[in-house]
Amino acid sequence: MHRPGEMRERTLDVIVPESFGNAMIGVKQGSELRIDLRMESLHDGILVSADIEGTAAGECGRCLIDIEQPVQVEIQELFAYSSDEAFEYEVHEDTIDLEPVVRDAVVLSLPFQPVCQEDCLGLCPQCGVRLLDNPGHEHEAPIDPRWAALGDLADTTTPDVTDAASGVE
């Protein structure tokens, strides 16, 4: 590949060696990523273009159910033949290490707050029930603590005031 203009294409099915992602969603260890790879030799190095596909698993950030989302990422990176501060990645003994490039691209493509669906309502703040499963879910309005003592008066049995005033027993 040291001759400018030379090109190679490969399709790789890679088993992920360790999980990568964020706290809510990520590509789990042992998952498979498909990488359609195109390597083009340039004067300065090898230009790598790739389409990455896989599946990320995690939980919804609103209702906490398990979810899976497809991962589709395109990358393009230059691997330099010589050590130079201008290039982040290098060719070592005619090989390139794609793992850091793929990991960075996949992690950056994952949502920070994944949701099971765009209109997910989340969980009830009082009892924790999933609101999408129970659309009419409601609780009684909380009683203002300043009026709570009056509620206790309504529960007690009192003689009828009108009967006492008329003198009827």
pLDDT in tens, 35-74: 999 999 888 888 999 999 999 999 999 999 999 999 999 9
- The structure tokens 């990176």 sit at 77
Report, as an integer, the average pLDDT of 115-139.
Answer: 87
Q: Any idea which of 10-14, 137-141, 163-167 has the lowest mean pLDDT?
A: 163-167
128 three-state secondary structure: coil
pLDDT at 157 over 60: no
Q: Which two tokens stand for residue 130?
A: 């999933």
| CA gap 31, 154 in Å, rounded | 63
88-124 pLDDT, tens per residue?
Answer: 778 877 788 889 999 999 999 999 999 999 999 898 8
Residues facing residue 107 across a β-bridge? none
What are the distances in angstroms from CA 93 to CA 1, 38, 64, 88, 96?
11, 19, 47, 16, 8
Query: Mean pLDDT, the chain, as a whole number?
Result: 85
Q: Contact 73/106 with Cβ under 8 angstroms?
A: yes
109 three-state secondary structure: helix
Closest CA to 30 of 20, 38, 22: 20
pTM as predicted: 0.71
Q: How many CB atoms lie within 10 A of CB 84?
A: 11
Model confidence at 143, pLDDT cuts 50, 70, 90, reads confident
Cα dihedral value 144, 147, 152, 158, nearest 10: -150
**Percent of the chain residues topping a pLDDT of 90:** 44
Q: So what's the pLDDT on residue 15? A: 93
| CA gap 55, 72 in Å, rounded | 9
User: What is the helix (H) or strand (E) element at residue 150, kind and residue range?
Assistant: helix 148-155
Q: So what's the pLDDT on residue 51? A: 97
Residues facing residue 87 across a β-bridge? none
Q: So what's the pLDDT on residue 156? A: 64
Q: So what's the pLDDT on residue 135? A: 80
pLDDT at 166 over 70: no
Closest CA to 27 of 64, 61, 58, 65: 58
H and E: helices and strands count for the chain: 3, 7
